Amino acid sequence: MDYQYHETSGGDKISNRLYHINDLIDSLIASNDIDDQYAFTPHSTTTNINGSNNYVYDEEGRLIKDKAEEISSIVWRVDGKVKEINRPSTSTKKKLKFDYDAMGNRIAKHVFDNQTGLLERSTYYILDAQGNQLTTYEHVVDNSTANFVLKERHIFGSSRLGMLNEDVNVLTAQIGQNVQHEVGKKHYELSNHLGNVLSVFTDLKIPQSSNTVTVSSYRVFIAGTTDYSPFGVELDGRTQSPEAYRYSFNGMEKDNEVKGEGNSYNFGARMLDPRVGRWLAVDPKGELFTSQSRYIYSANCPIYYIDNDGNTITPSNEKSKQDFNTTVQNVFSNNEIARNIFSISGENTALSNITMEDYSAALNATESIDERAVIRTLYLAANSEIDYQLYSMKQKETVSSGEFKRSTEEVEMAQGYTDYRVDERTVQIFISLNQYTGGDNLYAPVGKPRSNGLLS
C-alpha cells in the first residue's frame, strides 16, 4: 500500500495531507479493506493536487471529499463536527445528517435514501450530564406505519458494561401493561485494556447435557467476537460482529453508513477511518504536538495510547505508565550524555537549548527506541518557542540524585503563565523525572513564551 502526498521534486513532503492510496490487493479479497484508488496525479503534473486526487480538503485541513467512498461533500460545523455527508446523484449509498447539543455531543443521526432524498431512519441519543449515552430511540420511516422505538438501554457500572436491546414501541406502549422480558436481548461486553470490545455475550443460558436427558451445566451464549488490527480494522476471518451491538474499537460507536461495516468510528470530537489510521479532521490541539502529523491516531502508537474522545491521548493502563516512567528514568540513569545536557540544577529551572551535536551524541548513546523517543521529546521541548519552567508546589530543600539536580524553592507563578498549554508528552516526562528525583515533590511544568525566541 502506497500513500501519496504533496511532495517536492526531491521527494520532500510539503504537507501531511493524504491525497491518494494505491493498493495492490484485489478489491474482492476483503470487503473491509481499502481499495486501490487508481492513478495518482502528482503536483508536477497539475496545478490543483487537492482537487485532482481521491481525498480533497478545505482550507482548515478537514476532509470534504472521498471519491472512492462516493462522498461528494462533507459539511462541517464551526466546532469541527460533521454536519452532513452527501453523495453524488448516482450513488446508492446513504446520505447522512447529524445533530448536536450545545456541548458538541451527538444527539441524533439521520439516514436518507440518496436517490429519493427521503428520510429512512433517525437515531436519537439520550445523554447524561457527562455526555455518556444512556438510551437510544429509533424512528423508522415505513410506507404503512410510523415506528418510534426505544431501541437501547445502556447498562453501567463504573463504565459501560453492555446494553438491553429489547425494542419498546413508544407509540403503542400503555401504562400498567404487562411486559414480557425476552431472554437474549441483554448484551454484555468484554473489553481489553484499550477499551476494544472483544466479545459480546447475552443473558441466554444454553443447557449442556452428557446424556440428552438431564442438564449438567449451562454455557453462555456468545453473540459475537471481534479481533482488530492496531488501528481498529475488524480482521477478516477472526470477527463475527454482533448485529445488534454498535460499539467496537476503543469502545466507540461504528458509523457503518459512512464508509461501510466497521470502516468509520465516532470518537466524539472526530471521526476515524481505521483502514488508514487517520482522522477526517486535524487535531484541535495540534499546536502542542508539532513533531507529529495532525491526522494520525494516538501518535501512531495505538497499542500504547488510547484516545477517549478524539481529542486527547493517554497511556492505555497503569503498566504502560510504569513502563514509560522506567524508560525515562533509564535515560537519566544510564545515559551520561543525556543526563548532562538535559540536567536542571540550582536556581535555573529551565531547559536550555540543546545543540544538534549534543542531541545526536545522546541518541547514539542508547540503542533503545523508547529511550530515543524520550530524548527527542526533551530536545524538541528545549529548542521550542516555549520556555518550559518547573515549579515546586511544596517548599522543600534541594533534591538530588546523582548528577541530576533540581531546585525545589517555591516560585510564585506569574499571572498568565497557566494560559499557555504545555506539550502533554513533555508533561508526562517531567512527571516521571519528578518521581526519579525524590518522590512527591509535585512539580508542575508551566510554559511561557520566550522573549526573543531563545532561552532568556
Q: pLDDT grade, residue 400 (50/70/90)?
A: very low
- The CATH label, of 3.40.190.10, 2.180.10.10, 3.20.20.70, 1.10.10.10, for the domain at 58-315 is 2.180.10.10
CA 210, CA 420: separation in Å to the nearest integer? Answer: 69
Q: What is the mean pLDDT of residues 254-275?
A: 94
Contact 429, 382 (CB under 8 A): no
Q: What percentage of residues in the chain have a pLDDT greater than 70?
A: 77
Grid cell listed for 403: 548528577
Q: In the beta sheet, which residues pair with residue 252? A: none
Contact 390, 406 (CB under 8 A): yes
CA 200, CA 242: separation in Å to the nearest integer? Answer: 7
A 10 A CB-CB count for 256 gives: 14
Grid cell listed for 14: 510539503
Q: What is the pTM of this model?
A: 0.72
Per-residue pLDDT, 450: 34
Q: CA angle, corner 76, sides to 70 and 79, nearest 5?
A: 150
Per-residue pLDDT, 348: 43
SS3 assignment for the chain: CEEECCECCCCCECCCCCCEEECCCCCCCCCCCCCCCCCCCCHHHCCCHHHHCCEEECCCCCEEEEHHHCECEEEECCCCCEEEEECCCCCCCCEEEEEECCCCCEEEEEEECCCCCCEEEEEEEEECCCCCEEEEEEEEECCCCEEEEEEEEEEECCCEEEEECCCEECCCCCCCCCCCCCCCCEEEEEECCCCCEEEEEEEEEEEECCCCCCCCEEEEEEEEECCECCCCCECCCCCECCCCCCECHHHCEECHHHHCCCCCEECCCCEEECCCCEECCCCCCHHHCCCCCCCECHHHCCCCEEECCCCCEEECCHHHHHHHHHHHHHHHHHCHHHHHHHCCCCCCCECCCCCHHHHHHHHHCCCCHHHHHHHHHHHHHHCCCEEEEEEECCCCCCEEECCEEECCCCCCCCCCHHHCCCCHHHHHHHHHHHHHCCCCCCEEEEEEECCCCCCC
CA 268, CA 253: separation in Å to the nearest integer? Answer: 9
Q: What is the mean pLDDT of residues 326-339?
A: 77
Least confidently predicted of 3-12, 251-260, 307-316: 307-316
Contact 225, 199 (CB under 8 A): yes
Q: What is the mean pLDDT of residues 196-208?
A: 93
CA-closest candidate to residue 274, choices 293, 294, 256: 256
CA 235, CA 399: separation in Å to the nearest integer? Answer: 51
Write the CA distances from 125 to 101, 268, 311, integer angstroms: 10, 13, 21
Q: What is the mean pLDDT of residues 239-260?
A: 89
Show me where the domains of the chain are located: 58-315, 318-449
CA 401, CA 241: separation in Å to the nearest integer? Answer: 53
Tell me the CB-side half-sphere exposure of residue 67, using CA atoms within 13 A.
Answer: 16
For 18-61, the pLDDT digits (tens) are 999 998 887 777 767 888 888 898 887 778 899 999 999 999 99
Q: What percentage of residues in the chain have a pLDDT greater than 90?
A: 43
State the virtual CA torsion across 322, 325, 331, 332 in degrees, nearest 10: -130
For 170-201, the pLDDT digits (tens) are 888 777 667 678 899 999 999 998 999 999 99
Q: pLDDT grade, residue 122 (50/70/90)?
A: very high
Contact 352, 229 (CB under 8 A): no
What is the separation of C-alpha 371 from the centre of its chain, rounded to a whole number of angstroms? 24
Q: What is the mean pLDDT of residues 128-150?
A: 88
